[in-house]
Amino acid sequence: MNIENHLSRRKFLGTTLATAAVGGLIHTLQGQTSDTKPATPPVFDRKIKIGLIGCGGRGAWLGGLFKQHGGFELHATADYFQPMADKAGDALGVDKSRRFSGLSAYKRLIDSGVEAVIIVNIPHFHALHARAAIEAGRHVYAAKPVAIDVPNALHVLSTGQLATEKKLVHLVDYQIPTNPVNIEIVKRIHEGALGHLTHVESMGYASGWSDPADRNHENLLHSGNWLTTTALSGDFIVEYSIHSIDAVLWAVGKRPVKAIGRTRRCRPNPQGDGNDIYNVTYEFEDGLVWTHRCQALHNTQDDIILCEVYGDEAYALINYYGKSFLRGGHKQYGGGAIASLYDEGAIRNIATFYQNVVSGNCENSTVKKAVDDALTGILGREASCRRIELTMDDLIKENRTLEFDLTGLTQ
């Protein structure tokens, strides 16, 4: 299922880049011109058989990037909808006997002879599918958010620990931390470049989400139709703003202990229970305050994913689109433009995933980070929806599951 094709900018990127990746034009993704001679592709001693779970726009696109990497063999596809599994299978060269559909498609894919799986489906199912893959001895490359409620977030944490025990790789595909400029900025923050941290601000803005009037459960599983159903997506603050949340927790080095906020549903004739704007104030155990704003509205605002960290000596901007830099203080850094992070970040993560598998690097450090991100988004959602101050400890003690009725859906 595609998790971004509803967004104007990301829809363009996902559609354009998917065509390039599946069609074998990796030089397009890397910004080469038609006059540039393509680099000699690397030769890999080992091909890893991998299966794709979730064959929508981003799923098929990622499958194309895995194929272009050269170290993977696309062995199987799985999607709730058979036409989606077949379409991706055709593009990726997967035998028709290994294209699976229905709610149990992931099980058949895991048992089809794959060594690893790519999980790019609806967030409601991420934790379940990752656990099944790790228990079966398969490596996991996972999209985010890794979970949309506390029980599944904690389940993912134990899944990452199990993966390490079983000497399996479990990598979560965040793009912001792969960029060299962002890496240098965060390194300097951790070295004290900003002085004493005073406050943090972050934003996650995108155009409005689809909100289908037909709310039958099978239709909600189509494309981006599930995005405005909180029990499927986790809502906007968890599904989309997870990028800026990740940047903040990366820079600060810990997760917040409490939150208070407000949220609104502003779109005309809303059908789902998802909200369109969030304004949340988080607090860390040392008193550091963080304000997060996000919106999903058709109001021509450009897509924004960023994190601003303020200290008493300097200021840093960590970006997904635009420029990142560190201004002031004794470790000032001019930074640079963050270009093509949507695709370049995935390309870097795929290369890291391959290297970790073949070298046996099963530290799986991205899993705990992804769980903290998910719990932080969930805390902001729950505090805002309930209009109360809520602590992380109380949220975890509640251990509340978001239920979605699967009755009547094809197994």
Nearest to 248 by CA among 310, 337, 157, 297: 310
pLDDT at 13 over 80: no
Span 235-294, pLDDT tens digits: 999 999 999 999 999 999 999 999 999 999 999 889 999 999 999 999 999 999 999 999
Mean of per-residue pLDDT scores for the chain = 91
C-alpha–C-alpha distance, residues 334 and 54, integer Å: 39
Q: Give the C-alpha separation, 238 to 251, whole Å.
A: 19
Alpha-carbon dihedral angle through residues 20, 23, 25, 30, given to the nearest 10 degrees: 40
Strand (E) positions, 143-208?
170-172, 197-206
Burial class (CB in 10 A: 0-12, 13-18, 19+), 15: middle
Query: What is the reported pTM?
Result: 0.90
Domain residue limits, the chain: 8-30+45-172, 176-398
CA distances 357 to 43, 71, 115, 362, 373, Å, are 16, 11, 10, 8, 24
Largest CA distance in the chain: 62
Region 8-30+45-172: CATH code: 3.40.50.720
Whole-angstrom Cα distance, residue 327 to residue 337?
15
pLDDT at 18 over 70: no
pLDDT given at position 16: 38
Q: Sorting pLDDT into bands at 50, 70 and 90, what band is 388? A: very high
Please give the pLDDT value at position 41.
64
Rg over alpha carbons for the chain, rounded to the nearest Å, is 20
So what's the pLDDT on residue 43? 77
CATH of domain 176-398: 3.30.360.10
For 23-37, write each residue's pLDDT tens digit: 433 333 333 333 445
